[in-house]
Amino acid sequence: MTARSVSRPYMPGYGTLPAGDGTGLLPWSWAEERLVSSRNYWISTVWPDGRPHAMPVWGMWHDDAFWFSSSRPSRKSKNLVANPRCVVTTEDALNPVVVEGMARLLTDPNDLATLLALENAKYETDYKIDLLNPAVSSCFRVAPKWVFGLAHDDFTGSPTRWAFET
């Protein structure tokens, strides 16, 4: 398990309560449950010229990281190879979990097999290992630097930020 600290994010002008008020700081299990159970995610990357790029993806939260694959010539793959900084969000805008981190291109056959098994189990697919052929697909593991979450029923008393040691 990756070491992490938890705090209230700095949100001036939003009426955010101190960490001990309202719901208080959310437990990591609240964020992890949403990261695991979300069916769809959004990944934001950066074009070489600095423009943002956001796209929906399937993915899996596993071993304190976000795993996903994409076609090798896709814009998100090209962006991540050039600049691994990215943001991944769950699909639930009311109770969002936002992961800011660094993507690492996976090439180890064991990592590729892990990603394939996770994807087939979660999405009830029967993809074969050739789907993850590095010549046509890019597989990534996003290690978080920060994770942010908040509960819609306590907007001012629930915002929580987890910082991961890298």
Assigned domain for 22 exists? no
Assigned domain for 10 exists? no
Assigned domain for 80 exists? yes
Residue-wise pLDDT for 79-99, tens only, equals 999 999 999 999 999 999 999
Structure tokens at 156: 């001012």
Residue-wise pLDDT for 100-155, tens only, equals 999 999 999 999 999 999 999 999 999 887 777 888 899 999 999 999 999 999 99
For residue 2, the model assigns a pLDDT of 62
pLDDT band, very low/low/confident/very high, at 4 (cuts 50, 70, 90): confident
CATH number at residue 142: 2.30.110.10
Structure tokens at 1: 């398990």
For residue 166, the model assigns a pLDDT of 66
For residue 1, the model assigns a pLDDT of 44
Determine the average pLDDT of the residues in 36-41: 98
Assigned domain for 20 exists? no
pLDDT band, very low/low/confident/very high, at 69 (cuts 50, 70, 90): very high
Assigned domain for 126 exists? yes
Q: Is the per-residue pLDDT at 162 higher than 80?
A: yes
Residue 39: other Cβ atoms inside 10 A = 10
Provide the number of structural domains found in the chain.
1
Q: How far apart are CA 151 and CA 145, in angstroms?
A: 21
Assigned domain for 113 exists? yes
Q: Is the per-residue pLDDT at 39 higher than 80?
A: yes
Least confident residue range of 17-21, 105-109, 156-160: 17-21
Residue 11: other Cβ atoms inside 10 A = 14
| Percent of the chain scoring above 90 in pLDDT | 83
Assigned domain for 45 exists? yes
For residue 62, the model assigns a pLDDT of 98
Q: How far apart are CA 66 and CA 61, in angstroms?
A: 5
In the chain, the amino acid numbered 145 is: K
Q: How far apart are CA 134 and CA 142, in angstroms?
A: 17
E strand intervals along 58-96: 60-62, 65-71, 85-90
Assigned domain for 12 exists? no
Domain extent for 114: 28-164
- At residue 55, the 3 state secondary structure works out as strand
Give φ, ψ of 77 to 5 degrees: -65, -45
Q: Is the per-residue pLDDT at 20 higher than 90?
A: no
